[in-house]
Amino acid sequence: MARANDEVAALFAEYADLISITGGDAFKARVYEKAARSIGGYHADVSTLDAKGLKEIPNVGKSIAEKVVEYLRTGRVSAVEELRAKIPAGVRRLTAIPTLGPKKALALYEELGISSVEELTDAIHEERLRDLKGFGPRTEERILHGIALLQSSGDRVLIDAAMDVAEGVVEELSRVTGCRRCTYAGSLRRLRETIGDVDILTAAEDSGPLMRTFTELPYVMEVIAQGTTKTSIRTTKGLAVDLRVVPPDSWGAALQYFTGSKAHNIRTRELAVHQGLKLSEYGLFDVESGEKIVSETEEDVYARLGLPWIPPTLREDRGEIEAGLKGELPDLIEESDIRGDLHTHTDLTDGLAPLEEMVAAAAERGHAYYAITDHAPNLYMQRMTDERMLAQRERVRELDGEYGRRGKRRGMRLLHGVELNIDPDGGVDWPDDFLAGFDLCVASVHSHFNQEREALTRRFVRACENPYINIIGHPTTRIIGKRPGIDADLDAVFAACARTGTALEINSHPDRLDLSDEHILWAKRHGVKFAIDTDAHSVLHLAHLRYGVGTAQRGWLTKDDVINTWPQARLQRFLRKGRTA
């Protein structure tokens, strides 16, 4: 289940927003933003720490540590409650809209009395915002986009939050006497980026003990419905979880059915009908005799339909049935294929852990190579300088000597890189002669997201044409449910990446997963290569790689499509990007 760290981080992020809405000290808001990020990414559970231990967390001083202790003791923080009371509930509702900042939300409330998403939508359509300072047609368009984003997310949660709950439930139920099999299914098994509810599937002769254990889990807030084959609960975090119990000999058919997607299942049932069969969650049956033909494993079900086993991440009716019938399903990339991480950060900029800890954690994960890519100076709040970057390079070279010698086959080579900022005109932080000293360069957009489409497109294309830029980081800049992707001509961007030998990143952080699966499919048609990176800002973030790999699978990628599955010699040739010197 979710750690107390996540709860405290969310509370402090809200506190920072509340400070901004009320016109408080911008520096104080920034302090709490940084504390939220530090606590969320800290390796130890804050509920196990005293005030002294809390102050060892980066960006957590005495005052913040006291607020953490207060929250853990009482479930609230008085300073946060006081600010909440000062802000109309309507303004707080409006700040949930991606693209609408706290100051604009307050202006809408004070000037027009708008206190709901519905009222705001009506006001935009009636063009009542245009008399307000700072609200033009482009702003209206962005707000409407944000409203659509908010409404489309509904009650869905990010994949890591759902996975945390699902794996906890599976672990508990697997211990129950009589449980023969247990796993999660549904959209979570297909590794979709957001999850509406969690589906748990178990196999047992007697469902009673499983249902009792399920409803008595400590994080159950409400039992929505309870029966012998299906029980539904809601967790204290508001996430709905459904448990289904099937006979052991129906396991394969049930797992195929409850994994979905609906569109995929329609296609498999059509195949069954054409063969005089009926497919349900209980098995594959002969229509005339009613005899059950197969049901125990998914492989059996698919084979009887004339298909190979189809990986769950492909089951979206995007051509997987046709490919399976032709024997043309891709050999999808697996997490074990990843040889290294090419985009990570340390506490030299906005990371939480020092270089040595990040490198040690990467080695523990078995990487063959690992890149450190802290921020460049144009992201001014990171306070990067030439001298600081060169000093880090020297230390990276020392560590490379240490880790690279740990056995000819098992050593880990370190790459010194940088995450550059793609400026509004497509330029980056340093000139070519300085960039030439890096082993690789990731370049990302961190500002000016709302440029005109043509300008944004030129910006990306120019970055791709830079001979020292190897990877475009989090390419659309989206933050799921909070910030929409940029409006650029992606066909032109993808074509430029393919033409120049610039890889596109699949950022594994659960709130980004950028590129999305649909964009991956699109970019692959242009011949683009990809890098699956964590963009880790703490040791814990290195484990997010699984979500980037899942997204890559949903985009039909093989390991040959992904540069950080390649041996280091091949990777280094790619990173030269055609340069001769």
At residue 488's C-alpha, the angle toward residues 486 and 489, to 5°, is 150
pLDDT of residue 581: 53
Ordered DSSP codes for 425-491: TS--SS-HHHHTTSSEEEEE--S-TT--HHHHHHHHHHHHHSTT--EE-STT--BTTTBPPP---HH
Does residue 138 lie in a domain region?
Answer: no
Q: The CATH number of the domain where 279 resides is what?
A: 3.30.210.10
Do residues 445 and 507 share a domain?
Answer: yes
Task: Find tokens 């405290």 and name the residue.
Answer: 8
Does residue 133 lie in a domain region?
Answer: no
Do residues 317 and 343 share a domain?
Answer: no
Q: How far is CA 261 from CA 189, 297, 322, in A?
A: 10, 18, 16
pLDDT of residue 409: 52
* Domain end residue (candidates: 87, 117, 141): 87
Cβ density class 491-505: b for 16+ within 10 Å, e for less: ebbbbbbbebbbbbb
Distance separating the N- and C-terminal Cα atoms of the chain? 52
Q: The CATH number of the domain where 202 resides is what?
A: 3.30.460.10
Q: How many CA atoms lie within 13 A of 90 on its CB side?
A: 16
- From CA 396, how far away is CA 390, in angstroms rounded? 10
Q: The CATH number of the domain where 8 resides is what?
A: 1.10.150.110
Does residue 101 lie in a domain region?
Answer: no
Indicate the pairing of strand 240-246 with strand 230-235: antiparallel
Q: Are 32 and 19 in contact (CB under 8 A)?
A: yes
Tens digits of pLDDT across the chain (581 residues): 557 888 888 888 888 888 877 778 888 888 888 888 888 878 788 888 888 888 888 888 889 998 999 898 888 888 888 888 887 777 777 777 777 777 788 788 878 888 778 888 888 888 888 878 878 787 887 788 777 777 665 668 899 999 999 999 999 999 999 999 999 999 999 999 999 999 999 999 999 999 999 999 988 989 999 999 999 999 887 889 999 999 999 999 999 999 999 999 999 999 999 999 999 999 999 999 999 998 899 999 999 999 999 999 999 999 999 999 999 999 999 999 999 999 999 999 988 899 999 999 999 999 999 999 999 998 766 678 999 999 999 999 999 999 987 554 568 999 999 999 999 999 999 999 999 999 999 999 999 998 999 999 999 999 999 999 999 999 999 999 888 899 999 999 999 999 999 999 999 999 999 999 999 999 999 999 999 999 999 999 999 999 999 999 999 999 999 999 999 999 999 999 866 55
Does residue 581 lie in a domain region?
Answer: no
Instruction: Look at the chain and report how many structural domains it folds into.
Output: 4
Does residue 143 lie in a domain region?
Answer: no
Do residues 450 and 566 share a domain?
Answer: yes
Do residues 480 and 568 share a domain?
Answer: yes
Q: Are 271 and 305 in contact (CB under 8 A)?
A: yes
Q: Is 17 exposed, middle or buried (0-12, 13-18, 19+ CB in 10 A)?
A: buried
| Token pair for 162 | 């759902």
Q: How far is CA 399 from CA 84, 165, 177, 404, 441, in A?
A: 48, 38, 49, 8, 20
C-alpha 339, offset from chain centre: 20
Cα radius of gyration (the chain): 26
Do residues 228 and 278 share a domain?
Answer: no
Which are the contacts of 248, defined by CB distance < 8 A and separation ≥ 6?
A: 180, 181, 203, 204, 205, 296
pLDDT of residue 58: 82
| Token pair for 35 | 């504390």
* Domain end residue (candidates: 32, 57, 87): 87
Does residue 99 lie in a domain region?
Answer: no
Do residues 313 and 405 share a domain?
Answer: no
Do residues 353 and 492 share a domain?
Answer: yes
Ordered DSSP codes for 352-401: SS-HHHHHHHHHHTT-SEEEEEEEPTTSGGG---HHHHHHHHHHHHHHHH
Q: Tell me the pTM.
A: 0.85
Q: Which domain holds residue 4?
A: 1-87
pLDDT of residue 547: 98
Judge if the upstream peptide bond of residue 447 is cis by omega within 30 degrees of 0: no
pLDDT of residue 580: 58
Indicate the pairing of strand 503-507 with strand 471-472: parallel
- From CA 484, how far away is CA 506, in angstroms rounded? 16
Do residues 483 and 353 share a domain?
Answer: yes
| Token pair for 147 | 């409203």
Does residue 150 lie in a domain region?
Answer: no
Do residues 319 and 346 share a domain?
Answer: no
Do residues 186 and 60 share a domain?
Answer: no
pLDDT of residue 466: 96
* Domain end residue (candidates: 51, 72, 87): 87
At residue 81's C-alpha, the angle toward residues 77 and 109, to 5°, is 145
pLDDT of residue 135: 82
pLDDT of residue 402: 92
Does residue 118 lie in a domain region?
Answer: no
Do residues 541 and 458 share a domain?
Answer: yes
Do residues 459 and 364 share a domain?
Answer: yes
